[in-house]
Amino acid sequence: MNSGYCQSRFSTIRRASRVVMVGEVGIGGTHPIRIQSMTTTPTLDVAATVLQCRQLAEAGCEIVRITAQNVAAAKALRDIRKQLSQDKIKVPLVADIHFLPSAAMEAVNHVEKVRINPGNYADKKKFAVREYSEQEYQVELERLHEAFSPIVLRCKELGKAMRIGTNHGSLSDRIMNRYGDTPLGMVESALEFLRIAASHGYYDIVLSMKASNPKIMLQAYRLMVARMEQEDMHYPLHLGVTEAGDGDDARIKSAIGIGGLLLDGLGDTIRVSLTEDPVFEIPVARQLADKAMRLWQSAAIRSEPDPIDPYRYNRRTIVHQRPGDKSVAVGSLEPQRVILAVTSDTAPNAFITEAPALQRELKDARVEGLLIPEDSTQEWLQHADALHQLFSFCIWPANQLSPSQIQFKQPAVMLLNLPSVAADTISMLRNWVTFIDGKEHILAIDAPAECLPELEKHWQPLTANQLIFTDSITGKINHGEHAVGRYRKSAETLNALQCKAPIWIRCTENGLVEPDQKGFGDRLLEASMQTGVLLCDGIGDYVSIESVVNLKQSTTLAYNILQGARCRSTKTEFVACPSCGRTLFDLQTTTQRIRAQPDLSRG
């Protein structure tokens, strides 16, 4: 099937959209990805809100949203806008409206844009369960038309922009009863409002489909774009994962959802929602936007086929496999397994005899598999039996060994790097296939997707439960290509070959968008973008984060990405609103106090 929502799921081709001006800031078209945030101060505290707007603007925020939960708050926006203008701060303001049309009608006079939540702008949630006849549903739509039209006409009259921001979890009873709390319900909710606006000739609209679950968020945005294509709509997109929480977990979920869509060429403005000082949102959003824009390329590339259904989660079907001892299994109904990749400067004795504390750390980090370093394989080989006792399974670089050296007492995984189809690589593959055939060892083939059809002729003696596939991108990749696209191609190729062997997602230095970045925060975003979106697509059975030196840090990150992608739960998750002027208490401090409770910090 074609993806239907983007031109390519293998390269980053920016989606074409109309331009919406928010004051002097353009969103969509050929404009760069715009960075947004939201104030957390009470809107009626004009001085505090102005100060936070100034801090956000100085940090690089290009559009600032302020809550207008009632008419009084909406009126305060006039003084906020006036003070910012006097201070020569031109950052556009957005009024965040949820429940009161009267607040929207006041706020639009003082800001450059209003945000409307379709789930509660013209509906009062009663959580009522009922069946709507077609006639009753039409009556509801007519009521919605009457309630929403005044703000549409006012925005059109004043030349102001609007965001129709659908939130998973706040859909109207009407939508919930017909479509459920689903991505389809989110899309239909937005379409109702878009059609009303179009009936008045108003098109200065930006769309968002936010959810705290990155899987739901990805599916909703993809489906929204596909539906807009069907109806010849080209509105720009505002991306965000709502209620992501704080700390690394919030950044991981945001990178999975926002970063995953940006890799597909979707997204014109973004907001990273953190339950922290909003200034901290800006550098995270800036990094995600910059990575995506570096990958943008011409839309001249043809649309490419992709067998994945991007609108629903279906994990790729694979065989049942035991890569080492009998305690760990891999399969379609098993959790993804985490592999620790150690560097050559780590001595094998550190794991075996010299550091009991390190062994406890490994146990606490729940390390399941160990990837032996290539450049010191022979040294590690001397401790093979002890390592196989310590880890559920070990992965050995087959390029550095010969089958005659393998005298393991337990099954192991042999990793064979085949960057191309050549006589020497084919010979090596045949040797290892001959060795493994009939044994309990597994052969992991690290090769690009384009090589797999030719290599398949030579791995045929092995069954799928004796194979693992990965693509650590050892060669140069073309501009616009990214690691996610490479693994998608591998999954497509293996499916076409009817091979149900597992896929190992390796986040390595070679696959990074910005390989020269060394900070852990940047690596966290890169790993989350690459690994998390593949997991949300149902691709990936083994995971390793190999560009972080600290072993506990890299393993913890792998588990956190699995949890952020809703694949494997290993700890308590804290879901928290990013906070705004509607919040009647200090949500940031409260979240930290709850997180600090010892009984809640453990999984």
Q: What is the pLDDT of residue 592?
A: 59
| Average pLDDT, rounded, for the chain | 87
Whole-number pLDDT of residue 57: 97
Summarize the confidence of residues 384-389 as an average pLDDT. 87
Mean pLDDT of 544-555: 79
- For residue 97, pLDDT over 80 is answered with yes
Rounded average pLDDT over 228-243: 94
* Residue 429: both structure tokens together: 């593959």
- Asked which of 290-304, 478-492, 506-520, 576-590 is least confident by mean pLDDT, the reply is 576-590
pLDDT in tens, 119-152: 888 776 665 667 778 888 888 889 999 999 999 9
Neighbours of 135 (CB within 10 A): 8
Residue 391 pLDDT more than 80? yes
Q: Is the pLDDT of residue 353 over 70?
A: no
d(C-alpha 478, C-alpha 295), whole Å: 10
Q: How confident is the model at residue 243 (pLDDT cuts 50, 70, 90)?
A: confident
pLDDT of residue 131: 78
Range of weakest confidence among 94-108, 211-225, 545-559: 545-559
Q: Domains (ranges, CATH) in the chain?
A: 20-295 (3.20.20.20), 337-473+481-504 (no CATH)
Look at the block and give the residue holding tokens 């039996």: 385
Of 313 and 33, the structure prediction assigns the larger pLDDT to 33
Can you tell me the mean pLDDT for 233-261?
91
Q: How far apart are the first and last CA of the chain?
A: 39
List of residues 6+ apart from 287 with CB closer than 8 A: 521, 522, 525
pLDDT band at 1 (very low <50, low <70, confident <90, very high): very low
Classify each residue of 382-414 as buried b or exposed e, where b means 16 or more C-beta atoms within 10 Å of its C-beta: ebbeebbeebbbbbbbbbbbeeeebebebbbbb
On the 0-12 / 13-18 / 19+ scale of CB atoms within 10 A, 66 is buried
| DSSP state letter for 399 | G
Structure tokens at 29: 């078209």
184-195 mean pLDDT: 94
Close Cβ partners of 281 (under 8 Å, ≥ 6 residues apart): 37, 271, 272, 273, 274, 578
| 217-233 residue pLDDT tens | 999 999 999 999 999 99
Q: Given pLDDT bands bounded at 50, 70 and 90, which one contains residue 436?
A: very high
Looking at per-residue confidence, does 22 or 551 come out higher?
Answer: 22
pTM of the model: 0.90
**pLDDT at residue 311 in the model:** 82
Separation in Å, CA 372 to CA 181, 189, 379: 46, 51, 10
For residue range 498-516, what is the model confidence (pLDDT) as tens digits?
999 999 999 987 777 776 6
Q: pLDDT tens-digit profile of 264-287?
A: 999 999 999 998 999 999 999 999
pLDDT, residue 171, reads 87
Query: 557 in helix, strand or coil?
Result: helix
pLDDT at 303 over 60: no
Going by pLDDT thresholds of 50, 70 and 90, the confidence category of residue 2 is very low
- Tell me the per-residue pLDDT of 555-595, one tens digit each, with 9 for 90 and over: 889 999 999 999 877 676 666 555 555 555 555 566 556 55
